[in-house]
Homo-oligomer: A and B are copies of this chain.
Amino acid sequence: MHQNIKIVLVNTSHPGNIGGAARAMKNMGLADLVLVEPKQFPDPEADSRASGATDILENATVVATLEEAVADCQLVIGTSARERHIPVTLVDPRQAAELVFSDTLKTAFVFGREDRGLTNEELQRCHYHVHIPSVEEFSSLNLGAAVQVIAYELRMQALSLKGGPIVESKWDVPAATAEQLDYMLEHLEKVLGDIEFLDPKAPRQVMTRFRRLYQRSQLDQQEVGMLRGMLTAIEKQTAK
């Protein structure tokens, strides 16, 4: 049921939390765990806290970067411990689960470090940010507990849809993957350099805005093709 959903843990410090996350996932019917540069894994403490969900740990993929972890995903949702001052598309866990089941997109839920969550750059790779509504004065959940809440909402949503109408993709063209979006943005950055649009003193700022815009739009593959076609046409003109 959840074969389209992966849980991504970024730079986890405590192997026990990886085990706790694995257990929470298995309890709720999730199976696909991806670890981005865990500090310590595999580890007996992870096995112990997994408490029988060792198959999830054994099948976990370890990768070096978040880009790699979400490369094949069409919808990337990052957890944010607090409301940040970057304007984003912020949802609560229930809304996030509804989003996931409103379509059949390959989806990643991304969880950050125990002490400081996801970096701004990592959050910018996400289409949505999900905030678990903790109290302000004590807002940071244990990592395994955060995975538990999200996995629980996903299961509640899945169960509520069972027997209901078959959910169909409302879009006729497949959504772009994170990798396709990355390539398009690299192409865009090159062309913006060519046409001297980027501020040489702060080239990243404009690219951050462009990423935010196109990430939010959840581009489909035809749209990515169209934008890249436009970029190629600009290159041809400026090469003349």
A contact residues vs B (CB 8 Å cutoff): 20, 23-24, 26-29, 49, 51-53, 83, 85, 87-94, 131-135, 138-142, 144-145, 148-149, 152, 155-156, 159, 165-173, 192, 194-197, 206, 209-210, 213-214, 216-220, 222-223, 226, 229-230, 233-234, 236-238
Asked whether, in the complex, the Cβ of A87 is within 8 Å of the Cβ of B169, the reply is yes
Q: How far is it, in angstroms, between the C-alpha of A52 and the C-alpha of B138 when the chains are bound?
A: 8
Copies of this chain assembled into the complex: 2
Q: Given A152-B149, A156-B92, A238-B237, are A139 and B27 neighbors across the interface (CB < 8 Å)?
A: yes
Asked whether, in the complex, the Cβ of A90 is within 8 Å of the Cβ of B169, the reply is yes
Q: How far is it, in angstroms, between the C-alpha of A167 and the C-alpha of B20 when the chains are bound?
A: 27
Q: How far is it, in angstroms, between the C-alpha of A206 and the C-alpha of B226 when the chains are bound?
A: 8
Chain B positions within 8 Å of A170 at CB level: 83, 87, 90
What's the minimum C-beta distance from A172 to chain B, rounded to whole angstroms? 5
Q: How far is it, in angstroms, between the C-alpha of A93 and the C-alpha of B156 when the chains are bound?
A: 10
What's the minimum C-beta distance from A28 to chain B, rounded to whole angstroms? 6
What 6 pairs between A and B have smallest CB-CB spacing?
A197-B233, A217-B217, A145-B148, A87-B171, A27-B134, A195-B233
What is the chain B residue whose CB lies nearest that of A212? Answer: B223
Asked whether, in the complex, the Cβ of B27 is within 8 Å of the Cβ of A156, the reply is no
Asked whether, in the complex, the Cβ of B91 is within 8 Å of the Cβ of A167, the reply is yes
- Contact partner of A230 (CB less than 8 A), chosen from B49, B166, B169, B192, is B192
19 A-B residue pairs with Cβ-Cβ distance under 8 Å, sorted by A, are: A23-B145, A27-B138, A27-B140, A27-B145, A28-B134, A29-B135, A90-B168, A90-B170, A133-B159, A133-B167, A142-B148, A149-B152, A192-B230, A194-B237, A195-B234, A196-B237, A197-B229, A214-B217, A237-B237
